[in-house]
Amino acid sequence: MDTYADLIAADDVLLFVNAAITSTGQREFHDGADEQRLSLDFLHAYMLGNYRDLYAGVLALDINDHNAVLIVRRLLETAGEATTDQRRSEGRLIAARLTALPPQRVYGLFDALRRAGVNNRRTRAIARDWLAARKDLAFDAVKYRRGLKGLLRHTHLSPANAPEELGAFLFAPRGRPHYATPLLEAWRRAHHEQAALYELPYTAAEGFAARHGIPRDVFLERMAPRLTRLETLRLQGSAQARGATGVRADLAGMPLTRLAAYVLSLPVDERLGRRAELTGALETAAGRVAGRHRGSWGRVTGVLDDSFSSYGSGHKRRRPLAVALACHHLLAALAAEYTVLWTSGRTDSLLAHPSGPTPLGRRILDALETAPARLVIVSDGWDNAPPGLAGEVLRVWRTRLDPGRRTGIVHLNPVYDAADFDVRRLSPTVPTAGIRDAEDLPALVELAQFAEGRTGLAELTAYLDGRAARMTAAHAPERVR
């Protein structure tokens, strides 16, 4: 049986997980960037000081990249405070997590460690293994030159998988008349030969194009085959406006939440004109995420927040609404029978846009009338039309009308509330979990059982251990290769 201290620990961990999923230290609709960063820094320091093992275990969950980097950095900065067993388990978790992070994040992490004066044997070993797993260090040398150069200078490593001339390229790039590695040679030639820049990654080629005075539309048209999927999506609008018709994203393979954000960025007229294409792409992405669970959730009702606060902020424009739209399509794929209720009363999800107050209480009443097996609420929790109605409806439903919990209810919140060190909750009787991407929805509904208070620290620790074991096992074959 869990002690009071165990219950407090479980609650602290869940609170931190919600923050690590939702907060990136940037401005939100109700909080500024300074408040977000101060609140998040306090939680990291508190968790590391009181629950180091659990703090490291959070790396195995679907937290955002910003917090994954902060956790890794703090673990490496305080390596001297860890036991031998802790360092061993942390090392496996860190190595597995770094392979899942974008390379620029990892190079930024090692740069922060360099500036903090952290260069112990453990950090060098982690850097060595990460570099050894990189498929093409010549590509990194061109695209992330500053990061790779700083890492090698700080750790004095000589990666076995690096081209022999990598050091010369990084530290004296103009000192050689020729490079044997094709990509490095293309970079050298691009200084005086326009055709060579189209052999480089987009971010490196862009600077050369400006130097050579190449018109933007010509550059994008010729660069289109080398653009990544996300670069194509980001540049598609501006490229077509300049007449570069070859830059067109393949929406069928886009991640669900990113695709939803792209759809919301389009003007209403364009959404209407491309309805079949956009809807089909969203449904395909949702089906891919649902996988074998497609249609297995029974009768589901979603209450989705498209109020004015779902705009987010200038840093995270329309992010809460994008999560809600992506969740809408994923819930439709998971459910055998699905009903969607937007707070605005809108019935055409493709035309969703942030507007109006947040009458969550009224929409939850409407949702409960559909007698769902699962009710999923996606909202920032600012119930204001009238204030507090949602919490009262949920309290009465849980304590009087459905004490046997025939209807499973979960609240997913995409926005971190800095003042409360948590995501804003609707009711103590309903579990709330932070959500960053709709792709994480099935796992978060599973995690919400711990927030409901029906399981304790032992179960939560076992869950974290299981996730950690699966993540490190999946990473092991990569290390062998």
What CATH code is carried by the domain that includes residue 423? 3.40.50
Evaluate whether residue 331 is within a structural domain.
yes
CA 146 from chain centre, in angstroms, equals: 25
Digit-coded pLDDT (tens) for 15-49? 899 999 998 888 887 778 888 899 999 999 999 99
Q: What is the pLDDT of residue 476?
A: 63
55 vs 317, more confident: 55
| 33 domain residue, yes or no | no
Average pLDDT rounded to a whole number, residues 152-166: 89
Establish if 396 belongs to a structural domain: yes
Q: What is the pLDDT of residues 360-418, one digit of tens each?
A: 999 999 999 999 999 999 999 988 889 999 999 999 999 999 888 899 999 999 998 88
Is residue 263 in some structural domain?
no
Q: What is the pLDDT of residue 481?
A: 40
Rounded CA separation 109/115 (Å): 10
pTM here? 0.87
- What is the rounded average pLDDT for all residues in the chain? 89
Residue 420 binned pLDDT confidence (cut-offs 50, 70, 90): confident
Ramachandran sector of residue 248 (left: φ over 0; alpha: ψ -120 to 50; beta: rest): beta
Q: Is residue 344 situated within a structural domain?
A: yes
Confidence of residue 480 (pLDDT cuts 50, 70, 90): very low
Q: Is the dihedral of CA 459, 463, 465, 466 positive or negative?
A: positive
Range of the domain at 309: 287-454
Whether 232 shows a pLDDT value over 50: the answer reads: yes
**8 versus 333: which is more confidently predicted?**
333
Which tens digit of pLDDT belongs to each residue from 58-114? 999 889 999 999 999 999 999 989 999 999 999 999 999 999 999 999 999 999 999
**How far apart (Å, rounded) are the C-alpha atoms in residues 99 and 106?**
9
Query: How do residues 428-475 score in pLDDT, each as one tens digit?
Result: 889 899 999 999 898 888 777 676 655 567 888 888 888 888 888 877
* Tally of domains in the chain: 1
Q: Determine if residue 24 is left, alpha or beta; phi over 0 gives left, psi from -120 to 50 gives alpha, anything else beta.
A: alpha
Is 56 a member of any domain?
no
Question: What's the pLDDT score for residue 390?
Answer: 94
For residue 73, give the amino acid letter.
R
pLDDT in tens, 113-137: 999 999 888 899 999 999 999 999 9
Contact 373, 297 (CB under 8 A): yes
Query: Is residue 63 included in any domain, yes or no?
Result: no
Does a structural domain hold residue 206? no
pLDDT at 46: 95
